[in-house]
Chain A
Amino acid sequence: MNVMTPYHSELRVRRDGFTQLLRAEWTKFRTVRGWLVGMAVAMLLIVGLGALTGANSECGIQLGPNSPSLACPAPPTGPGGEWVTDSFYFVRQPLAGNGSITVRVTSLTGLYSTSGGFASDQNPTAGMTPGVQPWSKAGIIVKASTRRGTAYAAMMVTGSHGVRMQWNFTHDVAGLTGKASAASPRWLRLTRSGDTITGYDSADGAHWTRVGIATLVGLPSTAQAGLFAASPGYSVTSRSFGGSSSTGGPTLAIAAFDQVGRQGTWPASRWTGEAIQGAFDKALPVSAQGFTQTAGRFTVSGSGDIAPATDSIDVIRHTLAGTFAGLIAVVVIGVMFVTAEYRRGMIRTTFTASPRRGRVLAAKAIVLAAVTFAVGLVATAVTIPLGEHLLHGNGNPIPPVTALTWLQVVAGTAALLAVSAVLGLAVGTLLRRSAGAITAVIVAIVLPYLLAVTPGILPAGVEQWLVRVTPAAAFAVQQSIQHYPQVTQDYTPGNGYFPLAPWAGFAVLCAWAALALTFAVFLLRRRDV
């Protein structure tokens, strides 16, 4: 054997680090044109389907047979900036400065139609069945003005949710439980002190309990105060394969009051009755509403609701209808990012260059997530304004959304896409085959999502369950409308309501991705490649 000096390289090698691995994986990603094209396709699918949805959803009303079609009107906006329903019968007097109003409610009944709708404008309640809605409400209210959407605070009895204090549409605090009746009446009191309104309730008029304190910013010194009654629309949703249909219509609440007590300055000499109502509110005609006053006893009949609007479409989510298609594209890329290496054995080159396999997978996941997140961010940030612009042009009112909600939907959708791609990467690593992994991930995310948001395919309970436990739960990040327990509504995924909070739903997807990644790293370390 010849003895030689062993070879020494002149090459200067930099310090070992994870950033090198990230850089290598990024180089891998950007040098396969198919993946860049795939990302562009994902973006185009989201933007394109969003634009298509916007272009095809028209909303218009015709006031008469020959009148031109007008854009659908937007509901009034509450003090918090959200869309509200503000429709009730108001028996009022001005209250100048501080003061209070006390009342005893002895009954709350109602009328509704089992067949939906109402008979005629002349006699709207003809043929209606007696019965009160769970959220029919009557009581006392202090409101900035009679204009719809202005600030208010109210104490009320309800059809089946006991006494409540509610203010500014979104706030709801429970008081005494049980129904109001002659045998078991409910005493209610509102006290104004500056911007602060305090609500009390009592079962006997002697022992009072504070229910809540509302701060109504900018409440004018002279507010409108008095009695009110309202009853939200009733609806029964029936499901059939491929869709659901609702039967329902406006309802009436009839409340009996006595023992009306007032403190403070009430400059008017008598009570004024007025139906607060918009032209398109789901309420009975004004002729069905009203009040009577005899010997200190009042009967108030009102229709409509004082509540946040929950029946408008989730416009933002609507514009992002193409998310699931873009998601399929990024999942395919996520899977291929690793299975393409297995297909030709390049994974051996990869692990020869970087023997620590867990770190390789981590670098792949980070690069993939970063690219997908950026693509998702651009796609959603373009699609939402574009879709809204088209929807608005087609007569659809665009609901106001806070910057935080907007950010939640945009960043959330981008994160949903990014983590879905990483789930694809992890499953691709586990199965080492493209077709199987792509199918598995799409069945896990897109299928449950489509099943849950298309009404009538599955029972409602299963729909809710699907968007709770499967990775599809993460679509909750796209929900820009809020669930209010004090409003009866068909809170289903199909209507844009997810059972989990946005970030809780996203956490479900993350948990799945983390589980798949952990399992993938475990197998990577054990398997020969």
Chain B
Amino acid sequence: MEATIEVTGLRKRFGPALALDGMTFTVAPGQVTGFVGPNGAGKSTTMRIILGLDAADAGTATVGGRPYASLRHPLSQVGSLLDAGALQPSRSARNHLLWLAHSQGLGARRADEVIEQAGLRSAARRKAGGYSLGMRQRLGIAAALLGDPPVLMFDEPFNGMDPEGIVWMRGFLRSLAAEGRAVLVSSHLMSELQDTADHLVVIGRGRVIADASVAALIAAASADRVTVRTPARDEAMTVLARAGAEPAATARDVITVSGLTPERVVKLLSDNSVPFAELSAHRASLEEAYMELTRDAVEFRAEVTP
């Protein structure tokens, strides 16, 4: 069975709150899949259900085709980092990795390897309780890598990282995917994933809103807009409207056109001898695409929704 995460129709209710409402998606190997959504959208709950920590009310979550609870050496099939603070402060980082290694039938040498990989060698024998959040994230990454698994899952790994750490993390995630692993990374900030993820699963209110490649998502969100600066504003608007566009006057000598490519706008204006001083095409950022998608799904807005 291919090493993937498959989530099908997950539903989970916490008291009156519906946390997951038919969550369905697949994580493919060889790429970084961003798992994004506003706070409270259900990212962590989904991940906990994938790891068998929480039980779903309905639906299934499998790793490599099997439910997590049936895995015998789970850490060699899925590496995960849910909460970097989930450790005992009085135990050293190395000993934390050591008991994890022992639980998987691995030895101390493997623990030392992942310490090296996560860049923790100099701090490995210090108590984990004294670590900064960024260092704990690295320790959590080391734990996730312990079993050298084909599937990796990180919940908000950029939290608490300094800029240098963020750069390291991006490169690291990409290199993991480049080795052919399936990498699922959650974040509530799209900007963190902008240059990292190949594929995005955007969720809101417990369900998937969009499941597409980054390129497709941007293209869908930024129905191209072209801004034209022209002394002959009314003339230009007439020409463009005749061509089926929806020009709008945004300043005394500026119009914004949507529904036409920049090349088409240039050709129409030239053919009709309409002078223009400047023409600029505008592309939506991933961030804007995301805002657009999740506008209705944000749980915690200023106004209280019943």
Contacts and interface: CB of A to CB of B under 8 A. Distances in A.
B62 to A, nearest CB: 13
A356 B148 contact: no
B87 to A, nearest CB: 5
A8 B150 contact: yes
Contacts of B87: 344, 346, 349
Nearest to A528: B54
B205 interface: no
A6 B105 contact: no
Interface size class on chain A is 35 or more
Interface in A25-43: 25, 27-28, 31-34
Given A7-B29, A13-B106, A355 B71 contact: yes
Contact of B105 (A15, A31, A355): A15
A17 B213 CA distance: 41
Contact of A2 (B30, B70, B73, B83): B30
Contacts of B55: 528
Nearest to B76: A13
A403 interface: no
Interface in A330-385: 340-341, 344-346, 348-356
Contact of B180 (A7, A344, A348, A355): A7
A385 B6 CA distance: 65
B48 A353 contact: no
A21 B102 CA distance: 7
A49 to B, nearest CB: 28
A21 B83 contact: no
Nearest to A6: B29
B203 interface: no
The prevalent SS among residues of B at the interface is loop
B76 A9 contact: yes
A4 B106 CA distance: 28
A352 B213 contact: no
A14 B76 CA distance: 11
B3 A349 contact: no
Contact of A28 (B30, B31, B99): B99
A348 B52 CA distance: 10
B225 interface: no
A244 B284 CA distance: 90
Contacts of A16: 72-73, 105
Contact of A355 (B52, B85, B149, B181): B52
B1 to A, nearest CB: 10
Contact of B85 (A3, A13, A345): A345
Given A2-B31, A13-B105, A33 B90 contact: yes
A210 interface: no
B82 to A, nearest CB: 6
Given A346-B87, A356-B69, A11 B76 contact: yes
B103 interface: yes
Given A7-B181, A20-B103, A340-B88, A351 B150 contact: no
B74 interface: yes
Contacts of A348: 48, 51, 53, 82-83, 86
A452 to B, nearest CB: 37
B102 A11 contact: no
B100 A32 contact: no
Interface size class on chain B is 35 or more
Contact of B104 (A34, A353, A355, A356): A353
A457 interface: no
A122 interface: no
Contacts of B28: 1
Nearest to A31: B95
A24 interface: yes
A345 B44 CA distance: 14
B231 interface: no
A32 B2 CA distance: 39
A120 interface: no
Contacts of A355: 52, 68-71, 74
Nearest to A1: B28
A1 B214 CA distance: 11
B52 A351 contact: yes
B179 A7 contact: yes
B147 interface: yes
A355 B92 CA distance: 24
Contacts of B179: 7
A5 interface: yes
Contact of B89 (A11, A15, A344): A344
B195 to A, nearest CB: 16
Interface string B72-114: 1111100010110111111110010011101111100010000
Nearest to B113: A11
B98 A9 contact: no
Given A9-B76, A352-B53, A31 B99 contact: yes
B233 interface: no
A342 to B, nearest CB: 10
Contact of B110 (A11, A34, A350, A352): A11
A27 B98 contact: yes
B156 to A, nearest CB: 14
Nearest to A4: B30
B198 interface: yes
The 6 closest A-B pairs by CB, nearest first: A4-B30, A24-B103, A14-B105, A31-B95, A345-B86, A9-B148
13 contacts: A1-B31, A2-B30, A7-B179, A9-B147, A13-B104, A13-B106, A31-B91, A31-B95, A33-B90, A348-B53, A352-B53, A352-B82, A355-B69
Interface of A: 1-11, 13-17, 20-21, 23-25, 27-28, 31-34, 340-341, 344-346, 348-356, 528-529
Interface of B: 2-3, 28-31, 48, 51-55, 68-76, 80, 82-83, 85-92, 95, 98-100, 102-106, 110, 143, 147-150, 179-182, 198-199, 213
